[in-house]
Amino acid sequence: MSADGAPALWPQLMDVAFSQRFVDAGGIRTRIVEAGDGPPLVLLHGTGGHAEAYLRNVRALSAHFRLVICDMVGHGFTGKPDRPYTLDVYAEHLAGLLDALGLERAHLSGESLGGWVAAWFAAQRPERVDRLVLTTPGNVTSKPETMRRVYESTLRAVTEASVETVRSRLEWLFAPATKHLVSDELVAVRLAIYTQPGAEAAMRNVLVLQEPEVRARYGWNAEWTGRIRAPTLIIWTSDDPTGTYDEGELLARWIPGSRLVNIDGAGHWPQWERPEDFDRLHREFLLASC
């Protein structure tokens, strides 16, 4: 634990063989963290996120999978081409990443925006996805007030970057009982990312999916989700600030044969707030016999 009583980042990896490197994913310099052997599992973070969002899961999941955690296009320390980052752009980048790693197929697990991207990718490129996990995929019904909150709080954390604005953005994602898990170290990592040259322009490109006219072209609906053929697990939580459990039930009805589960005592980041539950659900679902 760090001095503030929250999980420290380095101890999550001290006894794990892992690597961080950059690969060319469709022409975009892309940061990845890799660990483990076995079936490939790619983890995708949320809006404004980065690979560190999954560091509490590396030890447990790399014992069973070839784990790949990336900074998606426009995020973290990955390249930030100046164009709106729509789901098509994220999907093309993900395809480039799989190609760069020599992976014809992989399990995909995404949280928030990462879940949206993973589902879109599975619908558009079903031949490349084995199994799919969607964790708090976020605002399935495109509520305007949630879109506005995500847009304003995320952009403010960049345009007025400080320990306070970044911490506020992170703490909003967590359940009331888990806000203490937002460590000074995690805030410092995100602050370093948000103060890079070009961070504001990149974030504005990230946030186009919170604009109603753009979101309308990609929003969750029965038509495109009905094309998902990968076995799918949807992980919801008791305290997700972006959506209620009935939105998870709606998504489960739309995706053929999907299964919905709930993690109590977590908000939008169950991989960080309740890592044991998150990791167990992944092992049970992804390693299950067909």
Greatest Cα pair distance in the chain = 49
Residues 6+ apart with CB under 8 A from 244: none
Catalytic choice (109, 112, 183, 258)? 112
The SS3 of residue 89 is helix
- CA atoms within 13 A of residue 20's CA, in its CB half-sphere: 11
Give the three-state DSSP class for 164: helix
**Is 239 assigned a catalytic role?**
no
Upper half-sphere CA count for residue 193 (Cβ side, 13 Å): 26
Beta strands across the sheet bearing 40-44: 18-25, 28-35, 66-70, 40-44, 106-111, 129-135, 232-237, 259-263
Tokens standing for residue 236: 């919801």
Sign of the dihedral defined by the CA atoms of residues 208, 231, 239, 224, in that order: positive
Is 45 an active-site residue?
A: no
* Rounded distance between C-alpha atoms, residue 20 and residue 227, angstroms: 34
Q: Is 130 a catalytic residue?
A: no
| Catalytically annotated residue among 268, 277, 279, 282 | 268
Q: Active site residue: 240, 277, 279, 282, which one?
A: 240
Over its C-alpha atoms, the chain yields an Rg (Å, rounded) of 17
Which residues form the catalytic set?
112, 240, 268
